[in-house]
Amino acid sequence: MKISLIFLGISLSIVLFFIFPKKAIADENNATRSTSDTTIVNDSIITLVAVGDIMMGTNFPSDSYLPPRDLLLLEPLYNFLQNADITFGNLEGTVLNAGGTVKKCQDSTKCYAFRQPEYFVDQLKVAGFDFLSVANNHMGDFGQVGRDNSCKVLKEKGFRFAGLESCPWDTLTVKGLKIGMTGFAPNTACLQITDYETVRKVVSKLNEMCDVVIVSFHGGAEGSSRSHVTKKTEIFYEEDRGNVYEFARVAIDAGADVVLGHGPHVTRAIDLYKGKFITYSMGNFCTYGRFNLNGISGVAPLFQLRLKRDGTFIDGNIVSTKQIGEGGPVLDPLNGALQQIKLLTAADIPGLKLEFGENGFFKFN
C-alpha cells in the first residue's frame, strides 16, 4: 500500500508539472535543449495565470485599513499563482509608505485613495507575480510622487510593469521567447484606452520586438450593475471609460496575443478574436478593507491559460475565487466566477463557440 501511494504521488506530480510547470525565467537552459525530445512537451506551451485588481490594504486615511502585518493575503492561492510561466495582475493603487499629494475628493470621508506600504510588494514577489499593470485610476491617488515611487520600488524588486507614459511597456524572456506587456486606461499619465493611434503604435512596436504580446486595459463602467459588455462607449462619473469590445479588437489587429481587462470591479464575459483570448474584466481579486465585496463584487476568476509559442490560445481553466470579510482571496466552492462567466458570455458574445468542461476547463471550438 505504501509503495502504491508513493507511485500515485509521483504520477500526480508529473501530471501537474506538465499542465502548469514551474516558472521558467532561466530561459537559456530551455533554449539549449533539443526540441525533438518528446520529454519536454511543456517547452512548446506558454502558461499564463491572470487575475484582476490587487489592493492589499492602504495606510490612508489611517493604518486601520491595513491587514495584520503577518497576514499573507495571497497565500491561499499560492498553488495557482506560483505555478505558471507568467503571472499577471493589476496593481490597483500606488506603492508609498507615506507622503505624496492625495487627490482631491468631494467628500473627504469617502475618499478612496490607496497608498499601499512598500512591504506589500515583497508579498507579491513571493506569490509569484511577474507582470503588473500600473495603468489604472488609483495609481495617481498620491500624485507624481506616488507614481514615481511605485515604479522605483517595483523595479528594485525585479517586477516587469507597464501602462504609464513613463513606462509604456516591458518585456520578459520565458522558455526562449520574448514576452511583451503594455497597459491602457482612461486616466492621467496612463497610455489612453481611447487613443487608438497610440494603441496601434505601441502594440505594433511590441509585436515587432516580441514573440508574444500581452495587452492589459483598465476600462468600462464600474459596479454590480455594469457586468455586461455593451459594445459601446461606457461613461462613468462623466468619464469616457472606453469601448472595451472595440479596444480589444484594435489591440489584436495591431499584434496583441492576449487582452486582459479589469476596472469594472466585477467579472465580465470572455471572448476569442482571431484565435486570441480576451477577458473583459477579472473583477476584484485581492482588495482589502476599502472595496465593496457584496454579491458578485466579491467573486473573481483566476485564469490559467495555455498558449502556443506564437500566442495563439489553446485552452484554459477558470479557478473561481471569492473574498469574505475585509477581503483576501480564497477558493470559492460554489464557483461563482465561473457561473458568471458562462452566463455573461452567452448573453454578451452570442454565437461564440465556447465549450466548458469539468472544474472550470474551457476551450473555443
285 burial type by CB count under 10 A (0-12 exposed, 13-18 middle, 19+ buried): buried
* Whether the Cβ atoms of residue 129 and residue 88 lie closer than 8 Å to each other: yes
- Three-class DSSP category at 315: strand
Q: Measured between alpha carbons, how far is 193 from 198 in angstroms, rounded to an integer?
A: 9
52-66, 72-86, 101-115, 211-225 — which is least confidently predicted? Answer: 101-115
pLDDT tens for 304-331 read 999 999 999 999 999 999 999 999 999 9
Within 8 A by CB and 6+ apart from 242, the residues are 186, 193, 194, 217, 219, 220, 233, 234
pLDDT tens for 116-149 read 999 999 999 999 999 999 999 999 999 999 999 9
- Joined grid coordinates for residue 92: 490597483
Task: Please tell me the CATH code under which domain 23-364 is placed.
Answer: 3.60.21.10
- Joined grid coordinates for residue 285: 481579486
- Look at the block and give the residue holding cell 499584434: 255
Q: Measured between alpha carbons, how far is 192 from 28 in angstroms, rounded to an integer?
A: 35
Q: Measured between alpha carbons, how far is 90 from 72 in angstroms, rounded to an integer?
A: 18
pLDDT confidence bin for 202, thresholds 50/70/90? very high
Sign of CA dihedral 217, 218, 220, 224: positive
Q: Measured between alpha carbons, how far is 273 from 353 in angstroms, rounded to an integer?
A: 11
Q: pTM (2 decimals)?
A: 0.89
pLDDT tens for 239-270 read 999 999 999 999 999 999 999 999 999 999 99
